[in-house]
Amino acid sequence: MKKLIYIAGLVLGMTALSGCTDLTEKNFSNIDAGVYYQNEASVKGAIASIYASAAYGFCEYFYYLQEFSADQIAWRTWNAGNWGWDEGLKFVLSSHTWTSEATIVLQAWQSAWQTIGMCNQLLGDLANIKPEAIGMTAAQMEAYIGEVRTLRAWAYYNNFELWGGALPLCTAVSSEVPGSIDDDFQTGCQKMYDFIATELDESLPALADKGTQRVSRAMNRMLKMRLLLNSEVFTGKAQFTECAVLAQDLLDGKYGTYSIAPDYRTIFEMGNENCPEVVFAFAEMNGQLNTGWMRNMPGLPYNYAEFTDCFATNQSGWNCVCLAPSYDNAGSELSTPSITASNEALMTDAAVSFLDSKYGDKLGAVYARFEPGDMRRQSYAFPNGGRWNGGMILKGKMTNILTGADVLADADREGQPLIYVDQVGQFAGATALGQTLADVQSPRWGQTNSGYRLMKYPMYPTSTGLDYQDISEVEFRWAEVVYTLAECKIRQGDVEGGKALVNGVRSRYFSGAMTDLAATWSGEEWMLHQWGIEFLSEGRRRRTDLRRFDKFTQGQWWFFGRAVADNGTVFPAQRDRKYEWFPLPQSALGVNPGLKQNPNY
């Protein structure tokens, strides 16, 4: 399979990023730009290393902070709350209890600046090189510069979503250590917003479309579209009209020809870089660039190969991540989970859905929010060794794909059949296992089988000889443009027009009549629900959905307002608004006195 391979580390000098993040002097390579850049291939190699840096940063830590803190994907511990706990490293995200001392926030901050530093280094180098000296035309050089500026704008955009106006702005390699872009947080937000918008607009004219694994005009405009869609969160000023115009321009083909894939499996299968819906995807290849393990491994157990017959088994399952459960733990605990004909399983005999009137949730409850006829809701499988069936859910009893024997669980259900239930709780009800079973428990208290698991990218069986880690990681796809325009219409009063756009995409998931469990919800509630189902676990739930609809700290799902924490308090139904933004790490403030902490931390 032909792919653009991002080879990291080709230019040692491109990791010079200390000027933005700390005061520690670092000795990087002093290769003279005039010596390194001999031809166009050397420029391509330098840019390839930026893509690699971006992939590792965006697909891991950015994902953690955006998804684990939201309503659909949870970091869950098990085996008496000990396994996967890691001193609460990632649990603080799912429980909205992080502080400026949180290790996970520091790790995200440390990974956030490498791509920006590499872009600054390369842009500085290219500014001092005459194109003809390395066999390039001025237009070719400008196209590469536009590509790098767009990548830098994307990196800043991702950081902006997390830390807002407290960020420093660094656009060149320098010994100067910049502080926050402004002492006033909201002013800083406006300045950062304007910088990103200007970068994208100025870099657009020079861009050349070079396939889905490189920056394109459409990718540049989609990033500008995201900025406009979230303008009210960033600056306090809504720009839905401007956003709708740009989304319509995209759909009209002004920036390239794309379309909704009739068969959605092609978005996530091998060869997805050729899917008409994919606008940009990181080119993955095990041994070259590999973030593919992040897709499924965090939710899989150690013995996942038994029920997947996976060709590639070089990665270990974490067994820590699950979908937010659809049901509480009400009723009497069963000696063995009840299993329906469609392999849905529960551990208690009177469980209540969080969507039912008792709770009235419209967030979380992921499996229950899928329509019954939606093909993504079926159990993940490769029927008869053929093609992936499109099912995304590991639910109910796991059996050995080759022998049909029960796959056994470990830890707190050692030796028992592994049966995933759509609940999270300390079943077997003994305090010796942690916390006594309650109707609602937080992800702090799960068991090894608690929560359904997501398989959004298929893991190919041994017979195929295909390594799932070679599937390109999709970051921008055409459905986002459709959903963005739909939301703009709904916000401007055209609810039916917005729903028609979304339903045009949704229809591909149904072989029969398309149903709508949220038909009676308000237009905005319906749209928020649809964003979550379509882009489940694609790394942007906190921003793309919850914050814009004011549900990130003010919305209620699953355990918030219901479950008891370790110290006897209840996780509040509505959290402090300071959690709308992440804090700057305390250690960063210690080495850079010019940084100003986000409000209320």
Segment (H or E) for 338: strand 333-339
- Cβ atoms 247, 228 nearer than 8 A: no
Average pLDDT over residues 144-159: 97
The confidence band for 598, taking pLDDT boundaries of 50, 70 and 90, is: very high
- Cβ atoms 319, 511 nearer than 8 A: no
User: In the predicted model, is pLDDT for residue 174 greater than 90?
Assistant: no
User: In the predicted model, is pLDDT for residue 255 greater than 80?
Assistant: yes
**Cα 533 to Cα 537: distance, rounded to the nearest angstrom:** 9
DSSP 20-48: HH-----------HHHH--SHHHHHHHHH
- Cβ atoms 266, 454 nearer than 8 A: no
Average pLDDT over residues 144-158: 97
- Cβ atoms 234, 174 nearer than 8 A: no
- Cβ atoms 320, 301 nearer than 8 A: no
User: In the predicted model, is pLDDT for residue 4 greater than 80?
Assistant: no
Segment (H or E) for 279: strand 278-282
Average pLDDT over residues 502-518: 97
pLDDT value, residue 14? 33
The confidence band for 591, taking pLDDT boundaries of 50, 70 and 90, is: very high
pLDDT value, residue 170? 94
pLDDT value, residue 34? 65
User: In the predicted model, is pLDDT for residue 7 greater than 50?
Assistant: no
- Between CA 213 and CA 293, with CA 69 as vertex, the angle to 5 degrees is 40
DSSP state of 476: E
In DSSP terms, which residues pair with 570 in a beta bridge?
A: 564
Residue 408 phi/psi, 5° resolution?
-95, 145
516 Cβ partners below 8 Å, 6+ apart?
A: 371
Number of Cβ atoms within 10 Å of the Cβ of 271? 13
Tokens describing residue 582: 């992440």
pTM of the complete model? 0.94
The pLDDT tens digits of the residues spanning 81-128 come to 888 988 889 999 999 999 999 999 999 999 999 999 999 999 999 999
User: In the predicted model, is pLDDT for residue 15 greater than 60?
Assistant: no
**Domain-wise residue ranges, the chain:** 289-456, 477-556
The pLDDT tens digits of the residues spanning 464-483 come to 999 999 999 999 999 999 99
Which of helix, strand or coil describes residue 281? strand
- Cβ atoms 557, 354 nearer than 8 A: yes
pLDDT value, residue 183? 96
**596 vs 17, residue with greater confidence:** 596
Strands 345-348 and 333-339, by their bridges, are: antiparallel
In DSSP terms, which residues pair with 345 in a beta bridge?
A: 339
Which of helix, strand or coil describes residue 158? helix
> Given phi > 0 = left and psi -120 to 50 = alpha, else beta, which region is 321?
beta
User: In the predicted model, is pLDDT for residue 22 greater than 80?
Assistant: no
The confidence band for 20, taking pLDDT boundaries of 50, 70 and 90, is: low
Average pLDDT over residues 569-596: 95
User: In the predicted model, is pLDDT for residue 504 greater than 60?
Assistant: yes
Average pLDDT over residues 383-408: 94
Most confident of 231-240, 421-430, 433-442: 231-240
The pLDDT tens digits of the residues spanning 529-551 come to 999 999 999 998 887 789 999 99
Length in residues, the chain = 601
